[in-house]
Structure 1
Amino acid sequence: DLTQIDRPDFAEYFCGNKLLPGAEPAAHCYCGHQFGYFSGQLGDGAAMYLGEVVNSRGERWELQFKGAGKTPYSRQADGRKVLRSSLREFLCSEAMYHLGVPTTRAGTCVTSDTRVVRDVFYGGNAILEKATIITRIAPTFLRFGSFEIFKPVDAFTGGMHSTTHVLSSLGQLGWCHGVLNTDNMSVVGVTLDYGPFG
Structure 2
Amino acid sequence: DRRLNCVVNKKRHSPGILSYLRAGCGFGGSCLPKDVTALQAFGRNKGVKPNLLEAVLSVNRSRPAALISMAESALGDLKDKTVAVLGLAFKPGTDDLRDSPALALIDLLHKKNAIVRGYDPFISKLAHNGTHVPVCKSPGEALCGADAAVIASGLPELAEWDWNTLAREMRHPVVIDGRSALRRVHLPPSVQYIRIGQPSA
TM-score band w.r.t. shorter chain: under 0.3
Q: Tell me which structure has the larger Cα radius of gyration.
A: 2
Q: Which has the higher strand share?
A: 1
The TM-score normalised by the length of structure 1 is 0.25
Which structure would you say has the larger RCO, counting Cα contacts within 8 Å and 6 or more residues apart?
A: 1
Whose helix proportion is higher, 1 or 2?
2
TM-score, L = length of structure 2: 0.25
